[in-house]
């Protein structure tokens, strides 16, 4: 009987120890305050959570009307999807609240960042180049300016030492470049590629992005997450520009994205060697999107090329919501069956899958995954 009681005691003790260890492992990704690192978000419509709701622009660069947001929020938030986007899901995985748009915080005079999830600076239509949709969006350089304003307020609130630690443990997400390459096709001004050469144009885009990364690093940023560019010529909005009228991918746009991705990877590897403490996660958005377009059923989807919301072939006309130049549009009944929500953006279901891959590292190019970044010192 004594032996039996002793065995039970040791079993319960072992169980208790294992539970304590599990909790300790989970808590490793938090700092001593128990708060997960804030997330600062830069980019375009893949990440915009509503900043463009607060600027003087056209509905081409806004999504604050039905049916945007219909799946999750049940109302439009300014996100270019039927629901949440990748950055929203990353915040969920990190166990922080949805990251608020900078201009919303500014309009409400809410600048207490001590316990915040972070700040979102992304703007639909933005590019790394100031010239991209100039005057209608918040370019990357201006997003950097907003971040500097936030970091300065943080320094006044927390003091120099604490704010420096906050910024160094924060995560900085970037999704930028798409508009720099597709805007000339959408505005019929591709001659600029020929005028300076595609290699020079890509170098110009990457140089602008690199400059912002270095500035964020100087301010205190150490942990960065990036999306590379998708197969741009195969977006529904570009397929309908096929001069042969066959709905084929625009080869030049896709090749520009591929070249951009190659140079971006090289630059990030170089920065990792040059800048002490610089860590990055690079998600292969290009391959992830192409796989879902070509094999939708494999990912629980039904349609990989046509958009859920829009009009014309592939629903490639950017008319979703009827608030843009073209007023008529069609809307699918089950968005989660589609890869594309509108002619340029993805559905919540696809964004969730991709965010999961970014977090776990299942299709990450050789680098950290985001979970590892959140857990790292």
pLDDT at 377: 79
Q: DSSP states of 15-48 as a string?
A: HHHHHHHHHHHHHTTS-TTSPPPPEEEEESTTT-
Structure confidence at residue 113 (pLDDT): 57
Among candidate residues 45, 49, 123, 136, the one labeled active-site is: 45
- pLDDT computed for residue 18 by the predictor: 43
User: How many domains is the chain partitioned into structurally?
Assistant: 1
| Structural domain boundaries, residue 158 | 36-295+347-375
* Sites in the chain below the pLDDT cut of 70: 1-34, 111-116, 362-364
Among candidate residues 82, 88, 163, 345, the one labeled active-site is: 345
What CATH number should be reported for the domain holding residue 125? 3.40.50
Q: Examine the residue annotation and report whether 85 is marked as an active-site residue of this protein.
A: no
Question: Is there a domain that residue 205 lies in?
Answer: yes
For residue 29, what pLDDT is reported?
Answer: 39
Q: Indicate whether 5 belongs to any domain.
A: no
Is residue 283 assigned to a domain? yes
- Residue 325, in any domain of the structure: no
- Has residue 182 been placed in a domain? yes
pLDDT of residue 116: 67
pLDDT at site 112: 64
**Distance (Å, rounded) from C-alpha 265 to C-alpha 245?**
34
* The predicted structure's pLDDT at residue 115: 52
Question: How many CB atoms neighbour CB 48 within 10 A?
Answer: 31
Q: In what order do the strands lie in the sheet with 223-227?
A: 118-120, 39-43, 171-175, 223-227, 279-283
Q: Name 320's Cβ contacts closer than 8 Å, sequence gap at least 6.
A: 67, 68, 307, 309, 310, 329, 331, 341, 342, 343
Predicted local confidence at residue 222, as pLDDT:
98
Q: What is the pLDDT of residue 21?
A: 39
Residue 79 lies in a domain: yes
Give the count of beta carbons closer than 10 Å to the beta carbon of residue 96.
Answer: 20
Q: What pLDDT score was predicted for residue 193?
A: 83
Q: Which of 48, 61, 284, 342 is catalytic?
A: 342
Those residues with Cβ within 8 angstroms of residue 204's Cβ, 6 or more apart along the chain or in another chain: 129, 196
Catalytic status, residue 215: no
- The answer to whether 342 is a known catalytic residue is yes
**Is 233 a member of any domain?**
yes
Q: Is 102 within a domain?
A: yes
The CA angle 189-253-317, to the nearest 5 degrees, is 75
Q: Please state, in angstroms and rounded to a whole number, the distance separating the CA atoms of residues 336 and 321.
A: 18
Residues in a beta bridge with 303: 338
């Amino acid at each position: 009987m004594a032996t039996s009681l002793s065995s039970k005691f040791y079993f319960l003790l072992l169980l208790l120890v294992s539970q304590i260890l599990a909790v300790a492992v989970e808590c490793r990704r938090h700092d001593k305050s128990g708060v997960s690192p804030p997330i600062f978000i830069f980019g375009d419509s893949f990440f915009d959570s509503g900043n463009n709701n607060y600027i003087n622009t056209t509905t081409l660069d806004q999504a604050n009307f039905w049916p945007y947001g219909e799946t999750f929020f049940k109302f439009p938030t300014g996100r270019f999807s039927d629901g949440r986007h990748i950055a929203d899901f990353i915040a969920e995985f990190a166990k922080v609240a949805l990251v608020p748009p900078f201009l919303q915080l500014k309009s409400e005079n809410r600048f207490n960042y001590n316990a915040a999830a972070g700040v979102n600076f992304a703007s639909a239509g933005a590019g790394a180049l100031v010239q991209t949709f100039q005057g209608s969006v918040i370019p990357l350089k201006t997003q950097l300016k907003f971040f500097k304003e936030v970091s300065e307020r943080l320094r006044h609130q927390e003091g120099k030492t604490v704010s420096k630690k906050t910024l160094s443990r924060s995560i900085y997400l970037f999704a930028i470049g798409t508009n720099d390459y597709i805007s000339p096709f959408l505005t019929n001004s591709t001659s600029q590629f020929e005028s300076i050469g595609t290699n020079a144009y890509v170098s110009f885009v990457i140089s602008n992005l690199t400059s912002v990364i270095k500035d964020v690093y100087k301010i205190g940023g150490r942990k960065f997450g990036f999306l590379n560019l998708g197969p741009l010529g195969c977006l529904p909005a570009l397929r309908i520009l096929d001069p042969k009228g066959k709905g084929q991918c625009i080869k030049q746009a896709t090749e520009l994205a591929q070249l951009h991705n190659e140079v971006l990877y090289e630059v990030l590897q170089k920065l990792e060697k040059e800048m002490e403490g610089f860590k990055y996660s690079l998600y292969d958005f290009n391959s992830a999107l192409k796989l879902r377009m070509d094999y939708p059923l494999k990912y629980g989807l039904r349609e990989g090329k046509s958009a859920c919301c829009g009009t014309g072939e592939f629903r490639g006309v950017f008319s979703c919501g009827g608030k843009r130049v073209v007023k008529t549009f069609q809307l699918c009944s089950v968005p989660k069956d589609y890869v594309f929500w509108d002619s340029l953006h993805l559905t919540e279901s696809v964004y969730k899958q991709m965010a999961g891959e970014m977090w776990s590292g299942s299709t990450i190019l050789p680098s950290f995954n985001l979970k590892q970044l959140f857990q790292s010192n």
